[in-house]
Amino acid sequence: SEGGGKLRIVSMVKVENVQALSNFQSSGTFESEPLQAHRRHCDTLLFHGCKQESVANIQATGLLLERAADGMLGAGLYGAPDPRKSFNYCGRSEDKFMFICRFLLDASAKHAGPSTQHRNTVFDEFCVYNERHVAVLWMLKVKDS
């Protein structure tokens, strides 16, 4: 398909970081559709892809701005509703990892996707600029089918 092939989950581990979870600033409202969550400034679930060498740090501390790359929407913490978008950030190693995270998409969150002026023509992605707006929940090891 236009967005890439199917992904297969090899393994899945619940991330239990009590400190990071207690720091999460929830809106108190959850929306399963990320575009609606962005419009309503509430929480949703997004995928975050990373290189293998970042996995242990993310499990231990969550997503931190000090380690954030300067992407299309600036230096922030990125997530996408479609794991195929996040898979693009998993690097070249044989083992590919991504995280399922709860994101608070408040008024400061930015969006890039097919309905925006950004170069994302297939997938939506969102960026937040506050570490307290992301809680890492699950780690996935995935393969491209």
**Per-position pLDDT tens, the chain of length 145:** 567 788 999 999 999 988 888 999 999 999 999 999 999 999 999 999 999 999 999 999 999 999 988 889 999 999 999 999 999 999 998 999 999 999 999 999 999 999 998 888 899 999 999 999 999 999 999 998 7
pLDDT at position 19:
87
CA 5, chain centre distance (Å)? 19
Return the beta strands (E) in 1-133 as ranges. Answer: 7-14, 43-50, 70-71, 74-75, 77-79, 96-104, 110-112, 125-128
The residue behind tokens 């400190």 is 19
pTM of the entire predicted model? 0.94
